[in-house]
Amino acid sequence: MSAAPIDLPRWADTALVPLVSVAAALVIAGLVVLGIGESPLEATALLLRGALGSAEGISFTLYYTTNFIFTGLAVAVAFHAGLFNIGGEGQATIAGIFAALACLWLAPLPGVLLVPLAVLAAAGGGALYGLIPGWLQATRGSHVVITTIMFNFLAATLTVYLLVEVIGKPGSMQPETAEFASHAILTPMHRLLAPLGVKLPATPLNSAFLLALAALVAVWALIFRSRLGYAIRTVGANPGAAAYAGISPARITMVAMAISGALAGGLAVNEVMGVQHRLLLDFTAGYGFVGIAVALMGRGHPVGVALAALLFGVLYQGGAELSFDKPAITRDMVVVIGGVIILFAGALDGLFRRVVASLLRIGRGD
C-alpha cells in the first residue's frame, strides 16, 4: 500500500514511457553537442539523413538492426523466465565458432544444405553456451548474472586460442580463419533483391535480416501462444505457482537459457556468415550488451524489441555518418548518446513512469 505500484494503461506503458525516455535522452545528448560548440539540430538532421536518407543508409541501418533484434530477443526470452542473461556476447562468440567450423568443414556440401546447417550449428552453439549457466543456476543455484558474464570472458579467450593455435588461417599472422567458400555465406541483400528489379548499393545487409524478422514472429508465438511460453512466463512471474502447476522451474530455466543463447547466435549468423565470411576476434563488438537495453526498452515484447532495435540501428548508422561529417563529434560522442538512451530507457525508467502517471491523472481530471 505504501509505495503504490505505478499502474499505467497499456498504451502508455508500451509506447509513451519509452518515447519520453528517448526524448529526454536526446535532450541530454543535445546539451552535450551544444557543449562542444556544435548545433544539436544540425547534428540530429545529419544523423537522421545518414541513417534514413538514402538506400545505402537504410541498408546499413537495417544491418545493425538485425544484430540488435537477435540480441534483444535473446535477453527478452530470458527475461520472461525471470532470468537476466547478460551473456549474449559469449553465446554469440561460441555460435560464431560453431558456424565457422560448419562453413569450413562442410564446404563440400551444396549451399542449400550447408547454409541451413551452419545456421543451425550457430543456434546450437549459442544454445549450448546458454544452457550451461542455465544448468548451473537450476541445479547449483549459481546466479546466471554472475556465470553469464564470466562465460563472456571464457568465450573470448577460447576464440583467441582457437584462432591462434587451431583453426587460424595457415601462414597468416592475423587471428582469423580462412575465408568461407562463396556458397557457404548468406546472400547479400542487394544480390537477393536484384532479380526482383530492386537496385540496392552493396552493403553488409544480408539475408540474416529476414531470419531476424522470422525470429521476431517465432518468439512472439513461443512466448504468447505456446504451452512452453506459458510455462516460461509462469516461472518468471511466480516460481511457486509454477511448481504448483507441475511446471519444473529448473527445467524451464535451462530451456529458456538455451533458447536465449540460440537467439544470441543470430548475431554470429549475421556477422560471421553474412558480413565477414570468416571467424575473427571480437566480431560481437558489444551488440550483445546493447541487446539488454533493446529488450528493456521493448518491454520484452517482440514488437517493442523490433522498434528498439531499429532505433539503435538508426543511432549506430546515423552516428557513424555524423562523426564522418562533423569531426568534432567523434564516434565516442555517438557512443555517449547511445549510453544516455540506455541509461534513460533502462535504468531510469521508473523516473518517467511516475511523471507520466501523474500527468495522465491530471489529464483525466482526477
Partner 1 sequence: MTAQSAPAIELSGISKRFGPVQANRDVSLSVAAGSIHGIVGENGAGKSTLMSILYGFYEADSGEVAIGGRPRRIRSPADAIAAGIGMVHQHFMLVETLSVVENVVLGAEGGAWLSGGVSRARAELARLAQDYGLAIDPDAIVGELSVGFQQRVEILKALYRGAQILILDEPTAVLTPPEADQLFSLLRALRDQGKTVILITHKLREIMEVTDRVSVMRRGEMVAHLATSETSPPELAEAMVGRRVLLQVEKAPRPRGAKVLEAIGLDLVDARGVALLSGVNLTLHAGEIVGIAGVAGNGQSELIEVLAGLSHPSRGVVRLGGQILSSADRNPACLRKLGVMHIPEDRHRTGLVTAFPAAENSILGYQDDPALGPGPFLSPSTIAARARETFAAYDVRPPDPELKTAKFSGGNQQKIVLAREIERAPKVLLVGQPTRGVDIGAIEFIHRRLIALRDAGVAILLVSVELEEVMALSDRILAMCGGRITGERMAEAADERDLGLLMAGVTEEAA
**Residues at the interface with partner 1 (CB under 8 A):** 1-2, 4, 221, 225-228, 230-231, 233-234, 237-238, 240-241, 243-247, 364, 366
- The C-alpha cell at 150 is 564470466
The 3-state DSSP class for residue 188 equals strand
Nearer to partner 1, 332 or 366 (CB): 366
Q: Report in angstroms the alpha-carbon separations of 331 from 96, 284, 323, 338.
A: 26, 18, 6, 11
Whether 207 and 185 have beta carbons less than 8 Å apart is answered as: no
Nearer to partner 1, 157 or 226 (CB): 226
Nearer to partner 1, 9 or 201 (CB): 9
Nearer to partner 1, 35 or 365 (CB): 365
- Rounded Cα distance, 258 and 78, in Å: 9
**What is the DSSP-derived secondary structure letter of residue 14?**
I
The 3-state DSSP class for residue 304 equals helix
Least spacing, CB of residue 333 vs partner 1, in Å: 40
- Please give the backbone phi and psi of residue 8, each rounded to the nearest 5 degrees, phi first: -115, 155
What end-to-end distance do the CA atoms of the chain give, in Å?
19
Nearer to partner 1, 236 or 318 (CB): 236
Q: How far is CA 86 from the centre of its chain?
A: 11
Question: 294: closest CA among 346, 241, 222, 220?
Answer: 346
Least spacing, CB of residue 138 vs partner 1, in Å: 16
Least spacing, CB of residue 300 vs partner 1, in Å: 12
Least spacing, CB of residue 221 vs partner 1, in Å: 7
Nearer to partner 1, 3 or 196 (CB): 3
Residue 336, judged by CB atoms within 10 A of its CB (0-12, 13-18, 19+), counts as middle
Nearer to partner 1, 210 or 228 (CB): 228
- Rounded Cα distance, 288 and 206, in Å: 19
Nearer to partner 1, 52 or 243 (CB): 243
- Rounded Cα distance, 57 and 363, in Å: 40
Q: How far is CA 157 from the centre of its chain?
A: 22
Least spacing, CB of residue 245 vs partner 1, in Å: 4
Least spacing, CB of residue 227 vs partner 1, in Å: 5
- Rounded Cα distance, 1 and 335, in Å: 40
- The C-alpha cell at 99 is 558456424
Least spacing, CB of residue 84 vs partner 1, in Å: 17
Least spacing, CB of residue 243 vs partner 1, in Å: 6
